[in-house]
């Protein structure tokens, strides 16, 4: 059965912008091989980025609520990757998910 634990998040440094602001890359993976998971919400503080992120991939809805993949399902074994720029890395963890 797929649960919040089926979504794996890896985050790490990815260099800097020309302005010197650190870049971080985030990989969000659906580790469930049998089901797609959608409506993936993350705890993300007051997430913001000095670099534009496609809002269909990852966007903040409110404090501690970021939406992944525009709410659409992330297929079994699939992943999404994005990079953001901030003076510090955000603590991003799965808040809720619906798996079909």
What are the mean pLDDT values of the chain's consecutive 10-residue runs (100 residues total)? 80 95 96 82 96 96 96 91 96 88
Q: What does the pLDDT read at residue 5?
A: 76
CA 9 distance to own-chain centroid? 7
User: What is the gyration radius of the CA atoms in the chain, in angstroms?
Assistant: 13
Distances (CA, A) of 87 to 9, 31, 64, 67: 20, 30, 18, 22
Domain 4-99 CATH (choose: 3.30.450, 2.60.40, 2.60.120, 3.90.1280): 2.60.40
Q: pTM of the prediction?
A: 0.90
Q: What does the pLDDT read at residue 68?
A: 96
Q: What does the pLDDT read at residue 56?
A: 96
Task: List, as own/partner pairs, every contact residues 26-29 make where C-beta atoms lie below 8 angstroms and the sequence separation is at least 24, other chains included.
Answer: 26/58, 26/81, 26/82, 26/83, 26/84, 26/92, 27/79, 27/80, 27/81, 28/58, 28/68, 28/74, 28/79, 28/80, 28/81, 29/77, 29/78, 29/79
Alpha carbon distance 26, 90 (integer Å): 10
């Amino acid at each position: 059965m797929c649960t919040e634990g089926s979504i794996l998040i890896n985050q790490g440094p990815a260099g800097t912008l020309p302005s010197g602001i650190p870049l971080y890359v985030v990989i969000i993976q659906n580790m469930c091989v049998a089901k797609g998971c959608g409506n993936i919400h993350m705890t993300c503080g007051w997430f913001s980025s000095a670099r534009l992120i496609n809002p269909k991939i990852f966007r903040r809805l409110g404090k501690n609520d970021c939406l992944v993949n525009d709410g659409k399902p992330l297929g079994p074994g699939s992943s999404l990757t994005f990079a953001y720029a901030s003076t510090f890395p955000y603590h991003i963890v799965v808040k809720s998910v619906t798996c079909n």
